[in-house]
Structure 1
Amino acid sequence: MSPVPRRTLRTPLGILAVLLAAVLTAACTTSTSGASAEAAAGSDPALKSFYDQTLSWGSCAQFSSSADEEKTFTTPGLDCAMLRVPLDYADPDGRTADIAVLRHKATDQANRIGSLLVNPGGPGGSGIEFAASLGTSSKTPAAVLARFDLVGFDPRGVGASTPAIDCLDDRQNDAERADDDTDPSPAGVAGTEAENKRFVQGCVSKTGVDVLANVGTRDVVKDMDVLRAVLGDRKLTYAGFSYGTRIGSTYAEAFPQNVRALVLDGALDPQQTTIDRTIDQNAGFQGAFDAFATWCAAQTTPCPLGQDPAKATTVWLSLVRPLIDDPLPALAGRTLGWNDAQTGISQALYVSAAYPILSRGIADLARGNGTILLRLADLYYDRDAKGHYSNMLEAFTAISCVDEQQITDRAQIDEQNRKVDEVAPFRSTGKGPVDALDPCAFWPVEPTSRPHVPQVDGLPPTVVVSVTGDPATPYQAGVDLATALGGRLIKVDGEQHTASLQGNACVDDAVTAYLTDLTLPAEGLECRLS
Structure 2
Amino acid sequence: MPNPPRPRAAALAIAVALLSASLAGCGGSEDSVDLPSQPLSWKDCPAPAESEGGGDAPSPLPGGAEWQCATMKAPLDWDDPKGSTIGIALIRAKASGNKDRRIGSLIFNFGGPGGSGVTSLPAFGADYARLRARYDLVSFDPRGVGRSAGVECEDDEQLDEYFQQDSTPDDTAERTKLVDNIKSFNRACEKRSGKTLPHLRTTDAARDMDLMRQVLGDDRLHYFGISYGTELGGVYAHLFPKKVGRAVFDGVVDPTQGPEQSSLGQAEGFQLALDNYAKDCTSKAGDCPVGDSPQEVKEKIAKLLDELDEKPIPGIFPRDLTQTAATNGIAQSLYSQDFWEYLTEGLQQAYDGDGKILMLLSDSMNGRNEDGKYSNIQAANVSINCADDNSRYTAKDVEAKLPEFRAASSLFGDYLAWGMLGCTGWAVDGAADHPDVGATGSAPILVVGNTGDPATPFEGARKMAGALGDGVGVELTYKGQGHGAYDSGNACVHSAVDGYLLDGTVPKEGTVCS
Query: TM over 0.5, yes or no?
Result: yes
Offset of residue 134 of structure 1: 3.6
CA 1:302–1:333: 2 relative to 1, 3 Å: farther
Structure 1 unmatched runs, 5+: 24-45
Secondary structure of the residue that 2:106 maps to in structure 1? strand
Match of 1:113 in 2: 103
Q: Secondary structure at the match of 2:138?
A: strand
Task: Determine if contact 2:47/2:54 at 8 Å carries over to the other structure.
Answer: no
**Do the aligned residues in 2 keep the contact of 1:104 with 1:131 (CA within 8 Å)?**
no
- Partners of 2:120 and 2:83 lie apart in 1 by 31
What do residues 358-398 of structure 1 show as CA deviations (whole Å, max 9, x unaligned)?
11111111111111111111111121111001000111111
In the TM superposition, what whole-angstrom CA distance separates every residue of 1:144-191 from its partner, at most 9, and x where no partner exists? 111100000000010122x21011111011101111133332332222
Taking the TM superposition and a 5 Å limit, the aligned residue runs for 1:337-416 are 337-408=322-393, 411-416=396-401
State the 1:94 CA deviation: 2.2
- Indicate whether 1:287 and 2:280 are aligned: no
Paired letter, 2:446: V
2:160 matches 1:177:
no
Query: What residue is the counterpart of 1:484 in the other structure?
Result: 467
Give 1:129's aligned residue. Answer: 119
State the aligned residue count.
Answer: 492
Q: Is this contact kept in 2: 1:165–1:203, CA < 8 A?
A: yes
Aligned to 2:132: 145
> Counterpart of 2:10 in structure 1: which amino acid?
A
The aligned amino acid for 2:110 is P
| 1:153-192 equivalences in 2 (<5 Å) | 153-161=140-148, 163-192=149-178
Equivalent position to 1:10, from 4, 7, 16: 4
Residues 103, 135 of structure 2: 8 Å contact kept = yes
- 1:503 corresponds to 2:486: no
Secondary structure of 1:248's counterpart equals helix
Please name the residue that 1:321 is paired with: 306
Equivalent residues of 2:455, 2:483 under 8 A apart: yes
Q: For 2:413 and 2:508, locate their aligned partners in 1 and report how far apart those are by CA, in whole Å.
A: 42
Displacement after TM superposition at 1:421 (Å) = 1.7
Deviation per residue, 1:418-463 (Å, 9 max, x gap): 322221112367xx99869723131111112432653312111110
Q: CA deviation at 1:62?
A: 6.2
Which range moves more in the overlay, 148-157 or 433-442?
433-442
Shift of 1:69: 4.0
* Secondary structure, counterpart of 2:58 in structure 1: helix
Corresponding position: 1:270 with 2:255: yes
State the distance in 1 between where 2:73 and 2:317 align.
42
What's the CA shift for 1:268?
A: 1.1
1:250 paired residue number: 235
For the pair 1:469 / 2:452, whether they are aligned, the reply is: yes
Q: Report the equivalent of 1:31.
A: none
Q: Which amino acid aligns with 1:140?
A: Y
CA distance in 1, matches of 2:314, 2:94: 47
Q: Secondary structure at the match of 1:260?
A: strand
In structure 1, how many angstroms separate the alpha carbons of the residues matched to 2:106 and 2:291?
46
Q: Is the alpha carbon distance of 1:73 and 1:64 closer, same or farther for their aligned partners in structure 2, counting shifts above 3 Å?
A: farther
Task: For residue 90 of structure 2, give the secondary structure of its aligned residue in structure 1.
Answer: strand
Q: In the alignment, is the contact (CA less than 8 A) between 1:341 and 1:374 conserved in 2?
A: yes
- Counterpart residue number, 2:23: none
Q: Report the equivalent of 2:199.
A: 214
Cα distance in 2 for partners of 1:468, 1:86 equals 39
2:185 to 199, 216, 232: 199
Helix, strand or coil: the match of 2:78?
coil
- Does the CA-based 8 Å contact 2:8-2:336 persist in structure 1? no
Contact 2:446–2:475 (Cα < 8 Å) also in 1:
yes
Letter in 1 for 2:425: F
Distance in 1 between the 2:494 and 2:419 partners? 43
Look up the match of 2:79: 90
**Unmatched 5+ stretches in structure 2:** 17-30
Q: Which stretch of the first structure deviates more once superposed, 218-227 or 508-517?
A: 508-517
Contact preservation (8 Å) 1:349, 1:496? yes
- Shift, 1:357, TM fit: 1.6
Aligned to 1:40: none
Mapped contact 2:58–2:67 kept (Cα < 8 A): no
Distance in 2 between residues matched to 1:497 and 1:448, nearest whole Å: 27
Q: 1:512 aligns with which of 490, 498, 501?
A: 498
Structure 1 residue 310, shift from structure 2 partner:
2.5
AA at the equivalent of 1:312: V
Report the CA distance between 1:354 and its aligned residue.
Answer: 1.4
Aligned to 1:420: 405
Residues 434 and 222 of structure 1: CA distance in aligned 2, closer, same or farther (over 3 Å):
closer
* Secondary structure of 2:89's aligned partner: strand
Compared CA separation, residues 292 and 114, structure 1 to 2 (3 A) = same
- Structure 1 residues 262 and 67: alpha-carbon distance in aligned structure 2, compared to 1, 3 A threshold: closer
Contact 1:364/1:370, CA 8 A, preserved across alignment? yes
Alignment deviations for residues 294-348 of structure 1 (CA, whole Å, 9 cap, x no partner):
1111234432442221233222111121112211112344321111111111101
CA distance in 2, matches of 1:166, 1:355: 33
- Greater shift in the superposed pair: 194-203 or 494-503: 494-503
> What is the one-letter code of the residue matched to 1:93?
K
1:55-70 counterparts in 2 under 5 A? 55-61=40-46, 63-65=48-50, 69-70=55-56
Q: What TM-score does the superposition give when structure 2 sets the normalisation length?
A: 0.90
- One-letter amino acid of the counterpart of residue 93, structure 2: H
1:454 aligns with 2:454: no
- Aligned partners of 1:265 and 1:466 also within 8 Å: yes
Question: Are 1:15 and 1:133, in contact at CA under 8 Å, matched by a contact in 2?
Answer: no
Structure 1 pair 272–47 and aligned structure 2 pair: CA distance change class (3 A): farther
In the aligned structure 2, how far is the partner of 1:333 from the partner of 1:184? 25
Tell me, in whole angstroms, the C-alpha distance in 2 between the residues paired with 1:64 and 1:106.
Answer: 27
Q: Distance in 1 between matches of 2:380 and 2:192?
A: 13
Contact 1:184 1:434 in 2 (8 A): no
Residues 239, 15 of structure 1: alpha-carbon distance in 2 compared, 3 angstrom cutoff: same
